[in-house]
Amino acid sequence: MTLRLLKSFALSVDQSRVPISSSAQRLLAFLALQNMPRSRTYVAGMLWPDVTASRANANLRSSLWRATRTGHQVIDASAQELAICKHIDVDIHVAATRAHRLLDMSRPCDDILTAQTREDLSADLLPEWSENEWVLVEQEQYHELRLYALEAMTERLTAAGRHGEAVAAGLAAVRAEPLRESAHRVLMNAHLAAGNRGAALRQYEQCRRVLLEELGLEPSQTLRNLVPAHSGAGTPPYRRPPGAGRRSGAPDTSGRLPSGEPDPGAGHGHLGPGRHRARVTHGSFRRFHRGLRALDGGDHRRQMGVAPHQCGVASVLIPLRVLTTHLD
């Protein structure tokens, strides 16, 4: 029996889909991501945080009953604890194990430098379930893990002279996080190792454009050094197009009136005629948070020694709430 959580939820036996209710799906996915026995009280509180304890426990009992309606044993249930059955193969467990192997540079892993590994690491975790806070935590953890793993895979393939596969892995990393400078760097190195300096230069220009338009920042000197034409201080300044870095319809905080004249009220604790209220959603905050981390350009082998990248560990990497900022 297999459980798929990457891209979408699917429970199957011998490649045949097993029908399962939505509430049982949530319970099974949660237990799979925990990957260890959890108390009934903990599970009920995590899956139904906005109701009373008695209501949450009733919902849990209902979901357990619905899980038995599949005709297969999928959950090990005792009087106190719940866990996913050990005979179920979970795709994210396989992907996470491969990711950690890729990140351990002291061990060879030629057997997993495959298109299947790249495909698994390119997939998001339950992308349509983002309304559940517990899913957001797991999504962020796996997102970070797979980004580091894709970068490591690119470096390993480059070192092995498998340039086409290295470029494919690097492109997957850039697609997953366009603001991540380290992803652009390993992709540029893959192009350079293949002798494609023009492709490396184009990748640099793409990275520079994205960083400037979204964050107003230039690429690091480390990245510029990869492209001789941009290694010195003489790189021409990039002028952002009007409105770059802002969503369509977002208020202009440039400090100028529509006529182009300076706004006398700007920069003094209020926004003058441009006064507004900005509402930042979890998604936009997460993208901003990722953008800041994307600029570190640090060595992933050093950074991956921290525990939060272990898949299934309930460590909160970002505030999981909606932020409302009043720019008054």
**Residue 229's pLDDT band (boundaries 50, 70, 90)?**
low
Best-predicted range by mean pLDDT (275-279, 289-293, 297-301, 307-311): 289-293
Whether 143 has a pLDDT exceeding 80, the answer reads yes
**Residue 241's pLDDT band (boundaries 50, 70, 90)?**
low
Does residue 109 contact residue 101 with C-beta atoms inside 8 Å? Answer: yes
Instruction: Report the percent of the chain where pLDDT is more than 70.
Output: 69
Identity of residue 4: R
Question: What values do phi and psi take at 180, rounded to 5?
Answer: -90, 110
Partners of residue 327 on adjacent β-strands: 276
Who's near 257: CB < 8 A, 6+ residues apart? 263, 273
**Residue 259's pLDDT band (boundaries 50, 70, 90)?**
very low
Give all domains of the chain, ordered by start, each with its CATH number: 2-87 (1.10.10.10), 92-230+276-311 (1.25.40)
Could you give the angle at the alpha carbon of 282 between the alpha carbons of 271 and 146, nearest 5°?
130
Between CA 162 and CA 106 the distance in angstroms is: 20
Whether 280 has a pLDDT exceeding 50, the answer reads no
pLDDT of residue 130: 82
Whether 327 has a pLDDT exceeding 50, the answer reads no
pLDDT of residue 254: 45
Lowest mean pLDDT among 129-138, 154-163, 292-301: 292-301
Q: At which residue do the structure tokens 């379930």 appear?
A: 129
pLDDT of residue 190: 97
Residue 227 DSSP code = S
